[in-house]
Chains A and B, each alone.
Chain A
Amino acid sequence: MRPSTTSPEKHLIRALAVLFWLGVWQIASMIIGQEILLVSPVRAAATLIDLMGRGSFWQSVFSSFGHILQGFALAAGLGLLLAVLAGVSRVVRVLLEPLMHAVKATPVASFVILALVFIRSERLSVFISFLMVLPIMYTNILAGIGAADEKLLEMAKVFRIGPFRTARSVYLSAVYPHFLSACTLSLGMCWKAGVAAEVIGYPRHSIGEALYMAKLNFDTPDIFAWTLAVILLSVGFEKLILALMRLLGRALGGE
């Protein structure tokens, strides 16, 4: 058995791993020696800091953030509702199964192109983030409902504690870890898909638009800086949502 590492040690190891890859990136950019192909991490960071000083940067960040958050929240809400209905009704479960498989298997680009026919480009990233997150939420929450302890459900039935208390005590405890895992899985994905949709849909004042403009202008430092911004936003978003979910879980008694 490997010796376990303490939390500060773990953070140090992670930081060293990040530093290692930044070093590899720096060396690679020095070897290539052409900024248009590969900028150095120092240049990318400097460009990002420069961008952060502009109002348009924050406008794009808040706009994309808002749309992706909306898509995520809608998918989490609908995923929960559909999973509950599927948990109650076998017919709903059977009906939804092929739909969820189809959504999971369809390429993001296909959805983006099809959706552009019906949806304004400003709302596209909401829809695409929603589509990426929905099947993950649905599948995980349904698995959580299925994992509810039969013995506890019998206890709830005998004591006649009612559907609300049963949901809060037995089902929440079972669903909560599955829901957290669905959040972890889908948060990064909804950022990736949302920004990809923006690059294709090209809505005004969005990260996707900024990335697309940088590509048109062969502005590699900008592309790297915006990509770095998306990574940081995605990680921050994930931490924020997971922290909120943990608080919610504690408040509702799921943890």
Chain B
Amino acid sequence: MPVRVSNLSKRFGDKAVLENLSFELPDRGIAVIEGRSGAGKTTLLNIIMGLTPPDAGVIDGLAGRRVTAVFQENRLLESWSAMKNIRLVCDRAVTDAQIRAHLAEVGLSGEERTPVRVLSGGMKRRVALVRAVIAPGDILVLDEPFKGLDESTRGAAIRYVLRHAAERLVLLVTHDREEALAMNAAVTISLGGDDAWTPPCIWTGSG
């Protein structure tokens, strides 16, 4: 079922962050959301995740669908291990071996039991990424998920998402055009012009 956003608006005080935003997303595949800082990318994701109510407009196609996310911040339990953080969001059917295999795919072998607080920023980001991918869900929201990763780990992380998210709708917020290209997005939504809000541009790519 496609996700249909109709006339979505959101203001914070005097500032209109989103105004009459409408677009449609496919049932599955990758949609890139881009735009300058303050254009409302994270606000849009928060509305989709049910964390922020819109002032006006509706989103159809979310009912009964589970969302998992990599937030702008890692939002991990710092005193818990990577394994425990991931286990927290998993069904019982997911085994420790599966979690270990996912962590290995993003280069975190041997760090399963390490408390998150002692991991580097890039390692924490990858734990947050694995948590979002391995958790049961239909929509994967990624808010700048590769931020703080060096080139090689970023490549591995992008391949990891592409491998495991094929059956889901992936919403990726990024400032990086290369990243967007590497993700082979089906749809690109551009929020906000340089001077003022402009309607979103939607490209349908080959992906």
Contacts and interface: CB of A to CB of B under 8 A. Distances in A.
Given A154-B51, A169-B88, A253-B84, A160 B77 contact: no
A253 B135 CA distance: 20
A158 B77 contact: no
Contact of A158 (B49, B73, B84): B49
Interface in B54-92: 66-69, 71, 73, 75, 77, 79-80, 84, 88-89
Contacts of A27: none
Interface in A139-159: 151-152, 154-155, 157-159
Most chain A Cβ neighbours within 10 Å, of B66, B75, B79: B75
Contact of B71 (A155, A160, A161, A169): A155
Contacts of A155: 69, 71, 75
- Does more than half of chain A's interface fall in helix, strand or loop, or is it mixed? helix
Nearest to A149: B75
B50 interface: yes
Chain A contact-residue range equals 10 to 19
Interface in A158-196: 158-161, 165, 169-170, 173
Contacts of A170: 77
B135 A159 contact: yes
A243 B89 CA distance: 30
A151 B77 CA distance: 11
B2 to A, nearest CB: 21
Given A159-B135, A170-B77, 20 more contacts: A151-B71, A151-B73, A151-B75, A152-B75, A152-B77, A154-B49, A154-B71, A155-B75, A157-B50, A158-B49, A158-B67, A158-B141, A159-B68, A159-B89, A159-B131, A160-B66, A161-B89, A169-B88, A253-B80, A255-B79
Interface string B160-195: 000000000000000000000000000000000000
Looking at A154, A158, A255, the one whose CB has the most chain B CB atoms below 10 A away is A158
A169 B51 contact: no
Nearest to A166: B88
Interface string A229-255: 000000000000000000000000101
A169 B80 contact: yes
A178 to B, nearest CB: 15
Interface string A2-43: 000000000000000000000000000000000000000000
Contacts of B75: 151-152, 154-155
Contacts of A253: 80, 84
Contact of B79 (A159, A165, A173): A173
Nearest to A152: B75
Interface string A114-140: 000000000000000000000000000
Contacts of A152: 75, 77
A159 B66 CA distance: 8
Contacts of A255: 79
6 contacts: A151-B73, A154-B49, A159-B68, A159-B89, A170-B77, A253-B80
A151 B76 CA distance: 9
**Of B49, B71, B88, B131, most A-chain CB atoms within 10 Å:** B88
Contact of B88 (A151, A154, A161): A161
B43 to A, nearest CB: 14
A239 to B, nearest CB: 23
B111 to A, nearest CB: 18
A160 B64 CA distance: 12
A173 B88 contact: no
Nearest to B89: A159
Contacts of A158: 49-51, 67-69, 141
